[in-house]
Structure formats: C-alpha cells, structure tokens
Amino acid sequence: MRLIDTAAQFSSMLAEARSRALVVGLVPTMGALHDGHRSLLERAADECGFAAASIFVNPLQFDSGSDLASYPRTLADDLSVAEEAGADLVFAPGVEEMYPGYPEPVPTRVHVASLGDRLEGASRPGHFDGVATVVTKLLALAGPCRAYFGEKDYQQLALVRRLVEDLSLPADIVGCPTVREPGGLALSSRNVRLSEAERSAALALHQSLQAGRAASACPGADPASVRNAMWEVLGSRPLVEPDYAEVVDAHSLEPAGSLSGELRLLVAAKVGPVRLIDNLPLVVDEPLTGDLPADSHLRSPRDDPFSSHRPAVPHDRRPDEQLPDKKLSVGSGLVPASDNHQRGAIRLCAGA
C-alpha cells in the first residue's frame, strides 16, 4: 500500500491503474477509521481492481473551530486499517494541498440547493457546502471511479448523488449499509468522545427509529404519528437533546406527505458534547388502511434505493440490510423486545 500527500500523485496513480484496465474504487474519509470505514474499504477492494482511500479532515464542513480541533486524528492507526482492508493507496493531503492559501477564505465552493439546506443543512449552516466542495474536488482528481459512501450519513449520500448527476462527474456512487455496535449504536468517529453514560444514552437514536418503524405498521398510521413515536423516545432520555425526527422521501428528502413508497426515517440529537445522526429505511408498498397485519405493507430494508446486494459481514458488525425483515415492532433484532419504548409503540397499535 502506498501513502501519498499530493493531488498530482493521486490523479497520476489512479490514471495509471485505469491504464492497466483496472476499475478504481475510492473511499473518501476524514480518518479516525472504524469498522464502518473498514466495510467500505473491503467492499471497494472486493469489487474493484484498485482500491484507494482519502484521509482528509475537511475544515470547510465544520461549523465551529472547537469541533474541528476536537475531531480525532489517528493517521498511523488509519493506515493499518486501510492496509488490512485491502487498500492499494491512501491519499492524505494537508489542508493547503486541497485549499491553497488556507486559512484565507476558499473562493470557490459547491452548493447543492434544497438537499443541502434542510435537516443537517439547517442545523449546521455551511456544512454541506463544505462536503460538496471537497467531494467534487476529490472526484475531479480521481477521474472515472466507483466511490463508496456509508448510509449512516444518508443526507450526505443523497447530496453526493445529486451533485455527481448535476455536474456530470465520472463517478458511480455506491451506498453501503450502516454498521452498528451490538446494541444498535451506529458507528461514528465521534463515538470515541462519548462517556460510558453518554454511550448508553446514545442508543436512543436507533431505538427511536425502531419505534418509528413499529408505529408505521399501526392501522391508520401517518407521517405525524411516526414522527411522534420517534420524538417520544428521543425526548425521554437523559443526556439526549433532540434536534429532529423526520419521515422523508428517500430520494428528494422532502417531508413525506403519506406513508407510501420509498421513505427514510432520520433523527439527530446531541448526546453530551457530541452531535449524532442515524436513519433507517422504510418502504411502504401501499398506504395502510383497515386491519392489515402489522408488517404486511413493509418491504425489506434490502429494497432501500441506495443499497445493493453484498456478502454477509462478520457477526460483530451489524449493517442495517441484515436486520430481520419481520417483527419490526420488536426492534428489528438489535434492541431487546423488552425495551420500554418498543413496548410503548406496540401498545399504540394495540390501543392499550
């Protein structure tokens, strides 16, 4: 595995790989690699002849200097993870390599209207301009490739797909399922900043999504009742400060007007000093009416529009696509059915 730090080297080495008829796979990261990143790198290595990762803590997507300063930087460990996962190349540029003249303002930025302005965009003004700018630059440097992004940052994935389409960038964007800890917490580089108590409290994000899924299976359910079920969980936990809990169209991320078609449940909250996000797919074949069985209108998370089939992963890594298809009302297998908030969602359906 090669480590390089200049844009010219990065472009040259990927072009050389393509000259040997190899498909290039790229995994853009900000470092602090965990098993979620490892799964992206392993998939890129499995599906492509040449796998590359970028490690760059992008200052443009942070809304405060303290958040940028506290973001973990673990390059030596990251290189070990990348090599073990099968990466052939790691591009780890300095800030001035990506943004000459920094910290002077970067004169050219990419803005994706609408998709970048709501949800995380509203809570973190400028964040998605930073994401869009660095991703556009990385893909322009990389040339034709398959670029792998995790579904944990679902709004980011939707935004990247849109900018690639609108700017005609020569990249195939591959969405990969969220990887979770055994209790259901989505893996994030920020998790290392959580105390033991905060880590326990952070489980509320995934539990709220499960409560929303369960509520969606109730007769007469609508987006408002699903949102209420998620808020009930998020708002009841100490140390958790909810930001939003939404039901949106899986493609446009517009608020859902009804429970039909391909949807996404999205939540965000601050847990202690750390802002966390999570999401789950919800695919409804037709609006729920009458006394249908609780899961009759729901399709598998494997049908998510940003997912595609992949081999199983080790048992200690839990991608959302491997959640059981049935019994959504008891927590989809990651949180015990005895969890009080899941029982609360079930009682709503039963009218108890």
Q: Which residue has the tokens 């073990």?
A: 84
Show the CA angle centred on residue 207, arms to residues 43 and 261, nearest 5°. Answer: 70
Is 2-176's fold the same as 189-350's?
no
- For residue 286, what pLDDT is reported? 63
Q: What is the arithmetic mean of pLDDT over 57-70?
A: 91
Please determine, looking at this structure, whether the domain spanning 189-350 carries the CATH number 3.30.1300.10: yes
Q: Which of 34, 37, 127, 206 is catalytic?
A: 37
- For residue 63, what pLDDT is reported? 84
Assign 280 to helix, strand or coil: strand
Fold of 2-176: Rossmann fold (3.40.50)
Residues in the chain, overall count: 352
CA atoms within 13 A on the CB side of 227: 15
CA atoms within 13 A on the CB side of 84: 12
For residues 23, 174, 143 and 100, what is the CA-based torsion angle, rounded to 10 degrees? -140
> Per residue in 229-250, pLDDT tens?
999 999 999 999 999 999 999 9
Residue boundaries of the structural domains of the chain: 2-176, 189-350
Assign 48 to helix, strand or coil: coil
| Catalytic residue check, 111 | no
Please answer whether residues 216 and 349 qualify as being in contact, where contact means their C-beta atoms are separated by less than 8 angstroms.
Answer: no
Mean of pLDDT over the chain:
86
> Per residue in 285-328, pLDDT tens?
865 543 433 333 343 333 444 443 333 344 344 455 433 332 23
Confidence of residue 67 (pLDDT cuts 50, 70, 90): confident
